[in-house]
Homo-oligomer: A and B are copies of this chain.
Amino acid sequence: MINTANHSAVDVSLPLAQFIQHCRWSDIPEVVRHEAKRSLLNYFSTALSACFDPTIERAAQVYGRFSVGQQATVIGRGQRLDMLTAAALNTMAANVFDFDDTHIPTIIHPTAPVAPAVFAWSETQRTSGIDLLLSFILGVEAECRIGNAVSPGHYARGWHITSTCGVFGSALATGKLLGLSARQLVWALGSASAQASGLVETLGTMSKSVSMGNAARNGMLSALLAQQDFDGPAHPLEGVRGFLNVTADAPDCQSIVDGLGERWEILNNTYKPFPCGVVLNPVLEACLGLSTHPELLQQGLGAIERIELIGHPLLRQRTDRPNVATGRESQVSAQHAVAVALTRGKAGLAEFSDQAVADTSLRALGQKISFIDDASFAVEAATVRLHLQRGQRLEVAIDIARGARAKPLSDQDIENKVRTLCEYGGSGCDPEPLIEAVWSIERAEDVGQLMQRVAGHVKS
Contacts and interface: CB of A to CB of B under 8 A. Distances in A.
Nearest to A232: B207
Contacts of A233: 201-202, 204-205, 207
Contact of A205 (B55, B59, B232): B232
Interface stretch (A125-133, A218-226, A357-365, A415-423): A218-226
Instruction: Count this chain's copies in the assembly.
Output: 2
A4 interface: yes
The 4 closest A-B pairs by CB, nearest first: A158-B241, A2-B204, A207-B232, A68-B68
B201 A239 contact: yes
Given A58-B228, A62-B230, A66-B82, A194 B190 contact: no
B98 A62 contact: no
Contacts of A207: 187, 190-191, 193-194, 225, 230-233, 236
A59 B231 CA distance: 11
A206 interface: yes
B203 A157 contact: no
Interface of A: 1-4, 55, 58-59, 61-62, 65-69, 82, 84-85, 98, 157-160, 163, 187, 190-191, 193-208, 210-211, 214, 218, 221-222, 224-225, 228-233, 235-236, 239-243, 245-246, 277, 318, 321, 328-329, 331-332
Given A199-B243, A201-B236, 17 more contacts: A2-B328, A3-B204, A55-B230, A62-B225, A68-B69, A157-B246, A158-B242, A163-B194, A194-B198, A194-B208, A199-B241, A201-B239, A201-B240, A202-B233, A206-B231, A207-B231, A207-B236
5 contacts: A2-B331, A200-B246, A201-B236, A207-B225, A214-B218
A98 B230 contact: no
Given A58-B225, A208-B194, A210-B225, A200 B241 contact: yes
Contacts of A214: 194-195, 218
Contacts of A206: 191, 225, 230-232
B231 A205 contact: yes
A202 B61 contact: no
A111 to B, nearest CB: 18
A2 B211 contact: no
A30 to B, nearest CB: 34
Nearest to A225: B62
A196 B197 contact: yes
B321 A246 contact: no
A62 B228 contact: yes
Contacts of A66: 67-68, 82, 84-85, 221
Contacts of A62: 221, 224-225, 228, 230
A210 B221 CA distance: 10
